[in-house]
Copies of this chain bind each other. A is one copy, B any other.
């Protein structure tokens, strides 16, 4: 537990090795034009003192960057986002970069503060799952040469690289499959339409119904649940209807899990047989979905790949050093995995 409370500097290493700081610097940067035996002495001194080159000092020199990527996501604890973060981390680590991770809790103000803080720490770029609908802070970042990648969601009017899922297409295919299976009363559970993915998935869902001439019953639309508990409550309300839905379309894993929990709870009280509960279509796969008492189909995708792709878009731009051109937009495909009655 003893603390020397002092971290050696390049000067001390130099002194220890009997050379100038420049020789230490050169040795640590690959050793060009440093005699092998001198290098050895330097490295020995480095090891002796436990020296670590100060990256912050380095980063203020012209031509040097921080090696930091700022990552702002809405909920670290949600497996979808943590897996996304893993993908970013892995890809960044391949180039020796590290991630500064911040949680926005779906709060635009916190996102603003986070981005501002990240810029102060001289991140090379930002990867953001926008909680905000406002482009200003991110546009400002780009104007200062700090590229932004928006992942999973897109902000209107932000001209930045984007990677999103095929939300509309996936939802459309999922809902269509339910209709194909004969469902006409399909409940919708999703997060608020003010969120990009919520809006797109809802749109795909609605489009499928319209195409097939199925009337849209407002009582069957519950958009606004951000948590599992809220989703459970919304499900409860829907199942209480005199003419309840025969299928539930869940626009994300929080809502699917909430629906499952509620159905499972009601099954426990044994009022109705399983066959009278709605089957489920979930946008997002999740662990243990297979234990569902009612058939559950999944609109599946890979959040890790989403993270990797976001990182690659950013790293591309960093290595292309300079403007790099047009904002790119990637839409990752989703895969429908059916499991119906």
Chain A residues within 8 Å of B, Cβ to Cβ: 1-8, 50, 52-57, 59-60, 66-68, 75-77, 79, 82-83, 85-86, 89-90, 93, 96, 98-103, 116-122, 140, 142-147, 159-160, 228, 257, 260-261, 264, 286-288, 290-293, 304, 322-323, 325-327
Query: Do residues A7 and B76 form an inter-chain contact, with CB atoms below 8 A?
Result: no
Q: How far is the CA of A326 from the CA of B1 in the complex (A)?
A: 7
| Docked-complex contact A121 and B56, CB < 8 angstroms | yes
In contact, A90 and B103 (Cβ under 8 angstroms): yes
Candidate in A60, A66, A292 with the most chain B CB atoms within 10 angstroms: A60
Contacts of A2 in B (CB 8 A): 142-143, 323
Are A86 and B90 in touch, CB under 8 angstroms? no
Number of identical protomers: 2
- Separation in Å of the A57 CB from the closest CB of chain B? 5
Q: Which residues of B contact A122 (CB under 8 A)?
A: 7, 54-56
Q: Which residues of B contact A77 (CB under 8 A)?
A: 79, 82-83, 86, 304
Q: Which B residues lie within 8 Å of A293 (CB)?
A: 291
Contacts A1-B327, A93-B103 known; 16 new A-B pairs at CB < 8 A: A1-B160, A1-B326, A7-B119, A7-B122, A50-B140, A52-B116, A52-B120, A54-B60, A55-B120, A55-B121, A68-B121, A76-B82, A82-B82, A98-B102, A100-B100, A264-B290
Assembled-state Cα–Cα distance A293/B290 (Å)? 11
How far apart sit A82 and B83, CA to CA, in the bound complex (Å)? 9
Q: State whether B100 touches A99 (Cβ < 8 A).
A: yes
**Complex Cα spacing A86 to B101, Å:** 10
- A3-B102 CB under 8 A given contacts A82-B82, A121-B55: no
Q: How far is the CA of A292 from the CA of B79 in the complex (A)?
A: 20
Contact of B103 with A121 in the complex, beta carbons under 8 Å = no
B98:A99 contact, CB within 8 angstroms: no
With a 10 A CB-CB cut-off, give which of A8, A96, A145, A257 has the most chain B CB atoms. A145
A261: nearest chain-B partner, CB-CB: B290
